[in-house]
Amino acid sequence: MRPHDYDTDVAIIGYGPSGVAAANALGSLGVSATAFERESDIYGRARAVTVNDWTMRLFQQVGLDERVKAHMDPTVALRWVTYDGTELLRLPFPPGRLGHATAYSIYQPAMEQTLRDGAARFGDRIRVEYGVEVTDVAQDTDGVTVTTRDLATGESAMTRARYALACYGGEPATRERLGVNLLGDTLNVRWVVIDGKVKRWWPDRHILTFWSDKERPVVDIALGRDNHRWEIPLKPGETDADFATHEDVWPLLESLGVSRDDIDIHGHAFYTHHIRSAESWRVGERVFLLGDAAHLMPPWAGSGMQSGIRDAFNIAWKLAGVLGGSLPASILDTYEAERRPNVDFYTEVSVQLGRIIKQELSEEEQAALATQSEELPPLLWPPFYVAGWFTGAAAPDSTVGKMIPQPRAATVNGLIGRLDDLLGDGFVVLGDNVDPKTVLSAGEKAGWDALGARYLTVRAADQGTETSDEIVDIDGTLIGWLRERGARVVAVRPDRFVAAADPTGLSVPA
């Protein structure tokens, strides 16, 4: 095989949530990919329990949001309660501003199957090889050679790709071959995770509940479909063997008021929580780490799996631009620059939520929490990046580095839909009641022209339109958001984050 003979654009190592998200994102952008997965079937146990409106907007980007919602239920609130029934805090979820409900309860196996079916839409552009293990990943200046072994036949094969995405999660062999170390800690507590089929409704079953207790804190959460989940720590001296059968775990549920009339247990497993991150999310020039291959966090913020999915969509549009020749290879440096601080943020949120659940807060911290209960908690903050492919500083009160809201919108001829569905897949420059082309300098416009950007004037619903270069913000949320932050014109990336705005400069980011 000659170095420049490529079998595929991108090799995807591992086909869990991060890998299948990458396949959908790449496929939708016209990029070919081949995925390699050891297991022939989806893991049958639910692990992740939620997705929020940011992640759902990504699914919308590849046309799968309505399909995955068929197996999900909106989450309306979360609360902290004690075993005696005292409610410490209840947090209703606000209406989503990204075009979807703020959060959804999921059943992960069903969601993953929908994503796999979605990737199959792209035919030969996205190929998946099941039942193979990756035995070597070698890169050179021109590409990556992935060597695999068929687990059934023992036969080896090589696949040549331009880039590779390592999405292999907890499987250590590939990580070791790449020479990647995960830095951080493994928490010294073992957890039993119990999944049940709901037989009848109990009070507030649909509210995500944290049972706060120093010895036995519990996560109590409705999953999608008719499933429910409890995550319960083992006490010192308890081992997995103490809860070997379903009968052994029933006393744990009964202490929460759950009876055999409420559910049938259909599975339980044991997990240990990690707080770890790879020392680098890029190996050489052509291999990138995503999801659990790059980072591990406790489950309290429900952001582990979601962070991997966001990794996939972030790197996908950048790879598509590089492979298509519209973006320089240097933009790939911004993958880790954007994603690592965001993952660190959610990891810290998760750690702090865990402290609340385990009643580890001091009296001063508890008092501060009570005074902040009316504010939007960090877990529900709108998506943002603190650094990356932007022009100007991503300051808290600016539009730069933030994801734009997604209102209901309308075209000039009256077609009504969600904003993203009307904007298309690429770059777009939006002007608040102004033609953005009249605000851009000649050099700025030439830069966005080279990226194939659209230019649209955003009108309010009480205004009229005349040309196809106008769009109506029916809900007023996008216009209101721009004016709150003092922006008249913004350049928006394919992932709907603002790359540049007129207060800090509208040139294409360096």
- pLDDT computed for residue 246 by the predictor: 95
User: In whole angstroms, what is the distance from residue 223 CA to residue 93 CA?
Assistant: 17
What confidence score (pLDDT) does residue 497 get? 98
Q: Which residues of 361-397 are buried (b: 16+ CB within 10 A; e: fewer)?
A: eeeeeeeebeeeeeeeeebbeebbbbebbbbbebeee
Beta partners for 186?
Answer: 274
- Partners of 163 in beta bridges: 10
Q: What is the CATH number of domain 184-274?
A: 3.30.9.10
State the number of CA atoms in the 13 A half-sphere of 188 facing the CB: 2
Give the pTM.
0.94
Nearest alpha-carbon partner for 444 in 498, 491, 482, 390: 491
What was the pLDDT predicted at 2? 46
Instruction: Take residue 230 and report the two structure tokens written for it.
Output: 């409890």
The answer to whether the beta carbons of residues 358 and 214 sit under 8 Å apart is yes
Both tokens assigned to 305: 């799996």
For 324, the token pair is 């298509």
Sorted by where each begins, the domain ranges of the chain are: 8-71+101-181+277-357, 184-274, 385-501
Q: If the chain, 510 residues long, is cut into consecutive pieces of 10 residues, what is the mean pLDDT of each piece? A: 78 96 98 95 81 97 97 90 87 91 92 97 97 94 96 97 88 75 84 94 92 89 90 93 96 94 94 90 96 90 93 98 97 98 94 79 68 71 95 91 97 94 96 97 98 98 94 97 97 98 96
CA 304 vs. chain centroid, Å, equals 8
Instruction: Report the topology of domain 8-71+101-181+277-357.
Output: FAD/NAD(P)-binding domain (3.50.50)
CATH number for the segment(s) 385-501: 3.40.30
How many angstroms separate the CA atoms of 91 and 89, rounded?
A: 7
- E strands in 284-380: 287-289, 295-296
460 token code pair: 């309010």
